Each structure stands twice: as structure tokens, then as C-alpha cells.
Structure 1
Amino acid sequence: MDWEDYRAKLAIAVMGECENCSAFEKFLVACVGWNRWLHQKKYKFNPLEKDFLGYNRKIVINNVSRDAMEESIKAVDRAFIELRSSPVYRDLFFFNLTGKKPSTIFKVEAAKFEGVKHTFFKIIE
């Protein structure tokens, strides 16, 4: 899949996961998505459609959600540009709302961010 197709899918996933979250939290989820795409050959992640539960959420676009969708697209674009410049963002590969570690074969640890609803995780090598 080329980056433009992935970008479109990731924007939908970010919207589905984070419609009521801050722009920063949308950015963090987008970083997870781009990191998985950029490191697919190394880690063999599941497709975005399978692991990002928000991707399959039915989204109704109205005046309120339109702003959230625009913010999601901006977060995806910002993440693509900025994540390589910061190890804090380029090492994020998992997230969830429960705070529990994700069920994965990888050894992970939480990355701390203030004021977010999701817990984010990086892979420990």
C-alpha cells in the first residue's frame, strides 16, 4: 500500500479512536500508525484495519464531527513530518484506553504523556 492510501486509512482510524480527544492525543495515535507502517518489514504488525478498533467505527459526519475529522487529518500529517525528529514519538507502537499492556509478542513499556485518555507503549529491544 502506498503512503497516500495509508494516510487516508490512518485519518479514519485516528478519527474513530480519538474523536473526543485533544489534538495532541490524535497526533500520538497517528504516530503509532505511521511507526507501524514505517517498520512493517521489521515487526510484521497486523493491518491497520485489524489493530485500530476505531477504523471500523461508524462515523457520522456532522458539524461537530467535521472539526474532529479535520483535526484528525492534521494530526496524521503532523505525525508523518515530526515523528522522525523525536525518539519519544518514533518509538510508539501500541496504545489502548485501559492502561493495560497490549497483548503482543513484543516486550513493551508505557510512555508517559500528561492529559491523555489513552496509554501508549514502546517496544523494548
Structure 2
Amino acid sequence: MWSRCNKEFPQVADDEREQGRTFLPKFDANGLLTAVVVDHETKDVLMVAFMDREALNATLRTGEAHFHSRSRGRLWKKGETSGNVLRVKEIGVDCDQDAIVLRAVPAGPSCHTGARSCFYRRIESGELVSAES
């Protein structure tokens, strides 16, 4: 799909990371970066997860979203048990390369609750209500 990210990232000046053409993901102290998943067609936010280098490389290699499961402490392919995979169409990178947006086509619900999006509620008058209403 896309080329894999390098195993080692050189120290680079902020202007190179922010203005250059080289993909230099900036992982946090835990080796993670934030990944926001957006429906490719509707532009709705579906979920937010974290990627380590292994998950990013698996996503780049296969075209299907992989994440780092903090609770399981391992690589996790979205939909590995449910079949509700996310087929990545495009990856957007923020200005300092510490967060990405996966524009994806979902093969079913994105949330483990069965909801289309993990953002199925909103705050209204201090309480959570359905975002569908």
C-alpha cells in the first residue's frame, strides 16, 4: 500500500518534520502516536486508538487498520475477531507528525459496543444522550 516507516528515526529539526516531505512519525515516550479514524465517505469520526511502530507498519503493509492494544499489550488488527475491518484509503499526518488520521471504509460497526462509531453519545445539559437523537 505505502512504504513502511523506518525502524530508526534520526533526530531532525522541527522545520524538517513540520515542513519537509519525509515521513518521520514522532512517537511519544511510550512509543505510541494517536490515530483518529474517520469514515472515508461521511467524514464521521469512528474511533480513536494508538499505534506503535509495529501497528503503523502493519497498516502501511496491508491497507487494513492495525493498532497497539494498550490493555492487551500487543498488536491488534481492527476486526480480527468480528470481521469489522477498516480498509484504509488515505493517511493524513498532522503538522508535527505525532498524530495521524486514517480515512477508512468500515466493514461494519467500528465500536466494540456494536455502534457505528465509538462517539455514539454527546453531552447535553451535563448528561450523556444518544448522538443519534
TM-score normalised by structure 1 residue count: 0.27
> Which is richer in strand?
2
TM-score normalised by structure 2 residue count: 0.26
> Which is richer in helix?
1
